[in-house]
């Protein structure tokens, strides 16, 4: 577990470490000793006192300035969800726009969050979308140059990059396509349902993910969240398969691909309870 938990120290700022140290002082100084003890960091992320400092009456949920990084806030929210699920028999599931039904799958979600690597993965995923890359690129078609736009929050346009990207960029692009699928379905599920993909965009996404032709008809009529679950898992597996070297970071991508729905459901809860709501400024809304 230690090697995975050590990943937290790569993201936490000095202000983050000072806040954690103020909750539970550690030997060796306010931040230095804590930075050398990644196992202690994970224990503190689950500490109710840290949650109260970040999300309590004096925390970000009240709109007051708290000098911690978004990554720390997301990591605390993910760890708090472990405690939430321990006391819950079911979570609501979206069956349509503004429609929810109870689903008794919390044991599966608790199992998903039982992995330190998966908890870190979700916090890193959320933090990676606090800033969104966008821009233009040029392709040649029919002897002519054409300019296209892309955005990390638009899977259709992002998938268009795969058509012209050199092979060495394919693993990274597939990874990011998996990320945006999980992010949209997890953090903005209502937007995703409301802005369901049209037939042209649907066909483009299915081709980009190399979905077998025999499976495309069924997926073309699938609900938006189910479609993104299927595509996101395929893109994660494609990233793993096309990478020349299988790193620890890619290994967790393969793990999440096998439990993509559970990851999405956990993020639905994190977003609904801790990140969404009036005045939330954590993320840029898709389409803006």
pLDDT in tens, 165-202: 888 989 999 999 999 999 999 999 998 988 878 888 88
Q: With contact defined as beta carbons under 8 Å apart, do 242 and 50 qualify?
A: no
d(CA 53, CA 51): 5
DSSP code of 272? I
DSSP code of 139? E
- Candidates 2, 41, 1; CA nearest to 24 is 41
Q: Tell which phi-psi region holds residue 88, choosing left (phi > 0), alpha (psi between -120 and 50) or beta.
A: beta
30 vs 95: which has the higher pLDDT:
95
Q: With 50 as the cut, is the pLDDT of residue 61 above it?
A: no
Alpha helices (H) in the chain, listed in sequence order: 2-5, 14-23, 32-35, 38-45, 48-55, 70-86, 106-113, 116-128, 155-160, 170-187, 189-194, 199-208, 213-220, 224-242, 248-257, 260-270
d(CA 222, CA 231): 12
Please give the average per-residue pLDDT across 76-105, as a whole number: 91
Q: With 50 as the cut, is the pLDDT of residue 60 above it?
A: no
DSSP code of 11? T
Token code pair at residue 60: 């970000």
Q: Tell which phi-psi region holds residue 29, choosing left (phi > 0), alpha (psi between -120 and 50) or beta.
A: left
Task: State the pLDDT at residue 134.
Answer: 67
Token code pair at residue 119: 């908890």
Please give the average per-residue pLDDT across 110-135, as a whole number: 91
Token code pair at residue 227: 């479609």
Token code pair at residue 171: 């693993």
Q: Quick one: what percent of the chain has pLDDT higher than 70?
A: 83
Q: With 50 as the cut, is the pLDDT of residue 1 above it?
A: no
Reported as a single tens digit per residue, the pLDDT across 219-276 is 888 888 999 999 999 999 999 999 988 887 788 999 999 999 999 999 999 999 999 8
Reported as a single tens digit per residue, the pLDDT across 160-169 is 888 778 889 8
DSSP-assigned states of every residue in 51-78:
HHHHHSTTSGGGT------HHHHHHHHH
d(CA 235, CA 229): 10
Tokens 């990207």, residue located: 165
Model pTM?
A: 0.88
């Amino acid at each position: 577990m230690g090697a995975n938990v050590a990943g937290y120290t790569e993201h936490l700022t000095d202000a983050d470490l000072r806040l954690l140290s103020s909750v539970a002082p550690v030997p060796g100084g306010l931040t230095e000793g804590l930075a050398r003890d990644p196992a202690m960091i994970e224990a503190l992320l689950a500490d109710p006192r840290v949650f109260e400092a970040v999300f309590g009456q004096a925390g970000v949920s009240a709109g007051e300035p708290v000098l911690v990084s978004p990554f720390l806030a997301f990591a605390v929210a993910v760890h708090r969800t472990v405690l939430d699920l321990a006391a819950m028999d079911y979570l609501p599931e979206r069956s349509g726009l503004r429609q929810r039904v109870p689903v008794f799958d919390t044991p599966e979600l608790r199992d998903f969050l039982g992995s330190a690597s998966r908890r870190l993965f979700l916090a890193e995923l959320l933090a990676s979308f606090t800033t969104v890359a966008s821009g233009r690129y040029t392709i040649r078609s029919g002897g002519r140059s054409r300019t296209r736009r892309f955005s990390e929050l638009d899977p259709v346009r992002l998938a268009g990059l795969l058509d012209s990207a050199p092979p060495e960029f394919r693993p990274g692009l597939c990874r990011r396509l998996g990320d945006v699928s999980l992010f949209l379905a997890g953090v903005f599920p209502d937007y995703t349902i409301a802005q369901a993909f049209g037939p042209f965009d649907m066909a483009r996404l299915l081709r980009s993910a190399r979905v077998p032709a025999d499976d495309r008809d069924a997926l073309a009529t699938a609900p938006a969240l189910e479609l993104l679950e299927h595509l996101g898992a395929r893109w994660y597996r494609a990233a793993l398969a096309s990478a020349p070297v299988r790193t620890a970071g890619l290994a967790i991508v393969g793990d999440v691909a096998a439990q993509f729905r559970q990851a999405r459901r956990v993020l639905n809860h994190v977003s609904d309870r801790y990140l969404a709501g009036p005045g939330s400024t954590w993320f840029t809304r898709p389409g803006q």
